[in-house]
Amino acid sequence: MIFIADVVVHLKPVVNDPQGLVVRDGLRRLGFADVHGVRVGKHIQVELDAGDEQGARAAVESMCDRLLRNPVIEDYRIDAVRAVAEAAAAS
Protein backbone atom coordinates (compact mmCIF):
# COMPACT_ATOMS: atom_id res chain seq x y z
CA MET A 1 0.00 0.00 0.00
CA ILE A 2 1.12 3.50 -0.70
CA PHE A 3 1.23 6.05 2.09
CA ILE A 4 2.03 9.72 2.27
CA ALA A 5 3.58 11.02 5.44
CA ASP A 6 3.88 14.68 6.39
CA VAL A 7 6.96 15.48 8.43
CA VAL A 8 7.55 18.82 10.07
CA VAL A 9 11.08 19.79 11.07
CA HIS A 10 11.77 22.95 13.05
CA LEU A 11 14.79 24.48 14.67
CA LYS A 12 14.75 23.84 18.40
CA PRO A 13 13.24 26.75 20.29
CA VAL A 14 16.65 27.66 21.75
CA VAL A 15 18.26 28.01 18.33
CA ASN A 16 18.03 31.40 16.71
CA ASP A 17 15.80 31.49 13.63
CA PRO A 18 16.89 34.55 11.65
CA GLN A 19 14.62 33.60 8.79
CA GLY A 20 11.62 33.65 11.12
CA LEU A 21 12.62 37.09 12.31
CA VAL A 22 12.90 38.40 8.78
CA VAL A 23 9.49 37.03 7.86
CA ARG A 24 7.98 38.49 11.01
CA ASP A 25 9.43 41.91 10.24
CA GLY A 26 8.30 41.63 6.65
CA LEU A 27 4.75 40.88 7.75
CA ARG A 28 4.77 43.77 10.17
CA ARG A 29 6.01 46.10 7.46
CA LEU A 30 3.10 44.97 5.32
CA GLY A 31 0.78 46.14 8.08
CA PHE A 32 0.23 42.90 10.00
CA ALA A 33 0.97 44.59 13.30
CA ASP A 34 -0.54 41.75 15.33
CA VAL A 35 2.12 39.23 14.45
CA HIS A 36 4.08 38.25 17.52
CA GLY A 37 6.48 35.79 16.07
CA VAL A 38 7.22 33.55 13.16
CA ARG A 39 9.25 30.40 12.91
CA VAL A 40 10.18 28.87 9.59
CA GLY A 41 10.80 25.16 9.30
CA LYS A 42 10.59 22.41 6.73
CA HIS A 43 7.63 20.40 5.63
CA ILE A 44 8.66 17.13 4.04
CA GLN A 45 6.20 14.92 2.26
CA VAL A 46 7.34 11.35 1.86
CA GLU A 47 5.49 8.92 -0.35
CA LEU A 48 6.32 5.30 0.39
CA ASP A 49 5.20 1.72 0.15
CA ALA A 50 4.40 -0.05 3.41
CA GLY A 51 2.31 -2.92 4.70
CA ASP A 52 0.18 -0.75 6.95
CA GLU A 53 0.07 2.62 8.61
CA GLN A 54 2.16 1.49 11.59
CA GLY A 55 4.80 0.21 9.26
CA ALA A 56 4.80 3.43 7.28
CA ARG A 57 5.09 5.51 10.41
CA ALA A 58 7.93 3.43 11.76
CA ALA A 59 9.82 3.76 8.49
CA VAL A 60 9.35 7.51 8.40
CA GLU A 61 10.46 7.83 12.00
CA SER A 62 13.64 6.06 11.16
CA MET A 63 14.13 8.33 8.12
CA CYS A 64 13.82 11.31 10.42
CA ASP A 65 16.33 9.90 12.84
CA ARG A 66 18.84 9.12 10.14
CA LEU A 67 18.51 11.92 7.62
CA LEU A 68 15.56 14.25 7.69
CA ARG A 69 16.48 16.14 10.81
CA ASN A 70 19.68 17.09 12.55
CA PRO A 71 19.15 16.21 16.22
CA VAL A 72 21.69 18.81 17.31
CA ILE A 73 19.51 21.71 16.28
CA GLU A 74 16.18 20.42 15.07
CA ASP A 75 13.00 18.83 16.41
CA TYR A 76 10.56 16.94 14.27
CA ARG A 77 7.10 15.56 14.34
CA ILE A 78 5.19 13.34 11.98
CA ASP A 79 2.02 15.21 11.28
CA ALA A 80 0.02 12.69 9.34
CA VAL A 81 0.40 9.36 7.66
CA ARG A 82 -2.36 8.53 5.25
CA ALA A 83 -2.95 5.83 2.71
CA VAL A 84 -3.40 7.02 -0.84
CA ALA A 85 -5.57 5.22 -3.32
CA GLU A 86 -2.91 3.93 -5.60
CA ALA A 87 -0.97 6.24 -7.81
CA ALA A 88 1.23 9.02 -6.67
CA ALA A 89 0.47 12.49 -5.43
CA ALA A 90 4.10 13.34 -4.88
CA SER A 91 6.38 11.97 -7.56
Partner 1 sequence: MSVISAGAAPPTDAALAEVALSRAEYEAAARLLGREPNHVELGILGALWSEHCSYKTSKPLLRALPTTGAAVLQGPGENAGAVDVGDGFACVFKIESHNHPSAIEPYQGAATGVGGILRDIFTMGARPVALLDSLRFGPLEEPRQRHLFEGVVAGIGGYGNCIGVPTVGGELYFDESYRENCIVNAMCVGVVPSERLTRASARGPGNAVLLVGADTGRDGIHGASFASVQFDDSSEERRPAVQVGNPFLEKCLMEACLELAGDPRIVAMQDLGAAGLCGSAAELAHRGGVGVEIDVARVARREQGMTPYEVMLSESQERMLVVVRPQDVDAVQQVFERWDLHSDVVGRVVAEQRFVVRDGGAAVCDLPLDVLVDGVPQRTAPGPRPERAMTLEHRMWASPWPMEETLLRLLRSPNLGSRRAVFRTYDHQVGDATVVRPGGDAAVVRIPGSVRGLAMCTDGNARYTSLAPRRGAAIAVCEAARNVVATGARPVALTNCLNFGNPEVNDVYWDLHDAIAGIADACTALGVPVVSGNVSLYNESERSRIAPTVVIGMVGVIDDVARHCAAAFASEGDEIAVAGPLAGRLDASELQRLGFGVNAKVAPDLDLDLERRVQSFVGEAIAAGLLHSAHDLAEGGLGVAAAECAIWSGLGLRAEIAELTHPPDGERAPFEAAGILFGEGQSRFLISYAREALVQLQDLAARHSVPLRALGTVGGSRITFSGVLDVSLEAARDAYEEALQPSA
Partner 2 sequence: MRFGIAVFPGTWSDRDCAHAVELSGNEAVMLWHKDRDLRGADCVMLPGGFSYGDYLRAGAVARFAPLMEAVVEFTEGGGLAWGICNGFQVLCEAHLLPGALTRNASLQFRCEPSWLRVETDSCAFTASCRVGDVLQIPVSHGEGRYVADEATLDELERDERVVFRYVTPAGLAVGAATPNGSMRDIAGIVNPAHNVLGMMPHPERACEPLLGSADGMRLITSVARSLRRDGALAASTR
37 binds partner 2 (CB under 8 A): no
30 binds partner 2 (CB under 8 A): yes
- Of 68, 76, 78, 81, the residue at the interface with partner 2 (CB under 8 A) is 68
Distances (CA, A) of 1 to 42, 47, 51, 59, 86: 26, 10, 6, 14, 7
Q: Are strands 74-84 and 2-11 parallel, antiparallel or unpaired?
A: antiparallel
HSE-up of residue 85 (Cα within 13 Å, Cβ side): 3
Residues contributing to the site for partner 1 (CB under 8 A) = 11-12, 14-18, 21-22, 25, 70-73, 91
Residues contributing to the site for partner 2 (CB under 8 A) = 11, 14-16, 18-19, 22-23, 26, 29-30, 40, 42, 67-68, 70, 72-73
